[in-house]
Structure 1
């Protein structure tokens, strides 16, 4: 039974789509249906989307790293076809351009979200460059664990030898030593906005439309970005 048919069978008034394989035909069918829909961290035409402001968050991260003297900044990103990834890459370049930082193409490496193994491979690739970066931004806090293992195997200490930044702001980041610098997504506000927007569609006469709601997060400096220069 497809997601749409299951929702209809259960007499759902509306659906919030999150943590899904957004390219899945069942998900695409559900998003294109007449049901009130809110999508988290993705954009479907005609649907309300709620997400962190991923462009601005990356700009803030770049400015913070640069304030510590770093100019060789690498970014291991998530899946290339994802809307969130595209926006974070956009924000990465925007922040670098604002500060006049030129980033070589080899500093942008594909990884996967929530996959320490993929981040470990990407970290080894970056550290093997003739001019390796002094700071690496990871797709998320959990993925950073893969990079940390590589650092330890190579005898590198964070932040004395290499600096790192995560994303999400989960409890793991604050419990690591040194504490991981990260960008905390405000999950409570994102969830609240998703429910509000869904109820507005259910209760109101309005038809589905492509509104995008951006929720501001906050930079958590931690202690994983060292001062250089």
Structure 2
């Protein structure tokens, strides 16, 4: 078995330098580090994880806490991309990923207890009830925590620009001539609050009075909830000219529900989604939506978590990731404007 002493001999340096280079310590020259890593690969060196944990006082293990309200788990089309980016970035830096839950081997425990049992170095939290006592307990602990799409004074956060997203989407519809716009919003969580704020901001700047009937309660990624939202809208004496849905899948289910009632999209009602996932490109006409940068969200969360755990610190840094408006054929000027 190849050891760090073999690598040191082959590179003409000390075993301490080899150890530091393989563990990415900053006090090793970049060229020396590259030379050592290249030689280690050539010799077939496999690191002893237990020895590395003892020498660095870290387990090289990042916890991921993820429980989406739609119960789609890792098949969730949006968050699966975010979590994949978290995983890839962590692995690139030499870390493993462990999913955190309230149950380990049939034993009920808190999220913090699970982290302590597994000796987790740091945690990335996404898509969960952040007001849950156990989540709050974890965020207040000594473990470095980074949250995705939640603003907390206690931990670092990587956030998609949800206010700007709904603001730009609503402003786009207003520019097309729409004034009677309904937003079918998702679960009542922080992200939804931010998006409603962007929706109201766009209306206010356009001089369109906001009324409560411009909001219809729905749910993220849930077929029946969005069909029900359409049914509620169809009961109105006067239909809106445009409807915003909480996400792209919701928008597609909404489009189908409208069409089943003889409502043409976009001729009778314009429709828009949110997220910018691939399925929006697969329907005809293409879905009008806001594209979120899932890869950057995941990578930034992973990198920030690693930076915190390696510096043995906690902070409440906020990083906002931009969005992009994707105009599509599901939104057009209302009939009165044509």
Q: Same fold (TM over 0.5)?
A: yes
- Trace 1:1-229 onto structure 2 (pairs within 5 A): 1-80=109-188, 82-206=189-313, 208-228=314-334, 229=337
**C-alpha deviation, 1:101, in angstroms:** 1.6
* Equivalenced residues, count: 227
Structure number with the bigger relative contact order (C-alpha 8 A, sep ≥ 6) is: 1
Equivalent-residue separation in structure 1 for 2:222 and 2:264 (angstroms): 22
Mark the structure with the bigger radius of gyration. 2
Structure 1 length-normalised TM: 0.94
Residue deviations 1:88-126, cap 9 Å, x none? 000000011111122321111111111121111112212
CA contact (8 A) 2:144 2:309 kept: yes
**C-alpha deviation, 1:146, in angstroms:** 2.9
User: What 5-or-longer segments of structure 1 have no aligned partner?
Assistant: none
Equivalent-residue separation in structure 2 for 1:205 and 1:60 (angstroms): 39
CA contact (8 A) 1:184 1:217 kept: yes
Residue deviations 1:123-145, cap 9 Å, x none? 22122222221100000011123
Structure 2 length-normalised TM: 0.64
User: What 5-or-longer segments of structure 2 have no aligned partner?
Assistant: 1-108
SS in 2 for 1:151: helix
Equivalent-residue separation in structure 2 for 1:7 and 1:130 (angstroms): 54
Q: Which has the higher helix share?
A: 2
SS in 2 for 1:67: helix
The CA RMSD measured in Å over matched residues stands at 1.4
SS in 1 for 2:325: strand
Residue deviations 1:164-191, cap 9 Å, x none? 0000111111111111101011001111
